[in-house]
Amino acid sequence: MDTGLPRAQGAPALSARIRVAPEDFDVTELDGFEASGAGEHLLLTIEKRGMNTAFVARLLAEWAGVHERAVGYAGLKDRHAVTRQRFSVQLPGREAPGVEALERDDPATGQRLRVLGHARHSRKLPRGALAGNRFALVLRGVEGEPAAIEARLRAIAGRGVPNYFGGQRFGHAGGNVGKALRMFAGARVKRDERALLLSAARSALFNRVLAARVAGGSWDRGLDGEAWMLDGSRSVFGPEPWSDALAARLERFDIHPSGPLWGRGEPRSAGEARALELEALADPESLALRAGLEEAGLSQERRATRLRPAELDWSWRGGDALELRFALPAGAYATSVLAELGSVVDARAH
């Protein structure tokens, strides 16, 4: 993916296309918890093709005869893909209808839905309640020297990539940032859209700080005044003086540098790290986004600047198709991994 954001590991190693077919973008949610086995919610694990998450949520509401508010899901999954994810449906004091009525396979539209499992649970499935996602991605029409491509993949496996927010956060042609600015200026928006625009504004500011750190070579090392984030959690500590212990923890990916998710209050960082953050967000548009987020009542939070895909593996399919397999934690984007490889074009846009 060519995001226009600076790469950490040099010029593109390849050019390719993704999502030539839905099967080329295969995603499986990694569950964040086990079903309790009892309760008024039914958890369903669903495999879908040619349907986005909101569409399946509407199908589930119709199937169960409930309002869409009674349907929960942990994450949004794309239509042009094959994905497996969990949904919950609130059915207090009721038996679930037969799950076979949900299933479909329509060759004319390419839509497919299968129920892989179901169990009772005590609570609605909230957003973000997943451990991560496992990906199997096929790049087609790959152009580039195979040895250089594999060297880049080994570098990504060993060093990681900048933990940018992906383009999905910013809407069609990145328009959500402009919409957020208009909302902050007084334009009225629906409640659901408001949450999306606040998220886009925060994500844009984080990406600007991270881009500055990538350009300066500090995205995967600590600066003076660094606020550190524990791997696999939202816990932050520091600043504290640099030490051999911090260096060892950074080397083994136990901790990561962090950047601001903007809101009210002062950033957790200090010294050189805070100075970089404020300089990266000193342009008029960033100042307007900062003010809007503060006025909306959001508080300062942090996000790791570094991301390492787990269990990264790859194999060639013939001469010009490359399959990548890896897992990412919740909130991380496969597009950040692809962008570090090179210029990967989404075939849906062509």
Please check whether residue 25 is in contact with residue 134, taking contact to mean a CB–CB distance below 8 angstroms.
Answer: no
* Six token digits for residue 346: 């989404």
Cα dihedral: 321, 327, 333, 334 (round 10): 0
Residue 215's identity, in one-letter code, is A
CA 220, CA 340: separation in Å to the nearest integer?
14
β-strand partners of 91: none
CA 112, CA 84: separation in Å to the nearest integer?
12
CA 334, CA 137: separation in Å to the nearest integer?
9
Instruction: Give yes or no for a cis peptide into 260 (omega within 30° of 0).
Output: no
CA 44, CA 102: separation in Å to the nearest integer?
11
Q: C-alpha distances in angstroms, 221 versus 96, 209, 235, 269, 330?
A: 52, 14, 18, 14, 22
Residue 338's identity, in one-letter code, is L
Three-state SS at 38: coil
CA 100, CA 114: separation in Å to the nearest integer?
8
Q: Using N-to-C axis directions, what is the helix angle for 284-295 and 191-216, rounded to 10°?
A: 140
- Hey, which bits of the chain come out as E strands? 14-18, 25-31, 41-49, 71-73, 82-90, 104-106, 111-121, 130-143, 161-162, 228-230, 236-237, 255-261, 301-304, 306-307, 310-316, 322-329, 342-346
Phi, psi (5° rounding) for residue 231?
A: -60, 135
- Catalytic sites, residue numbers: 78
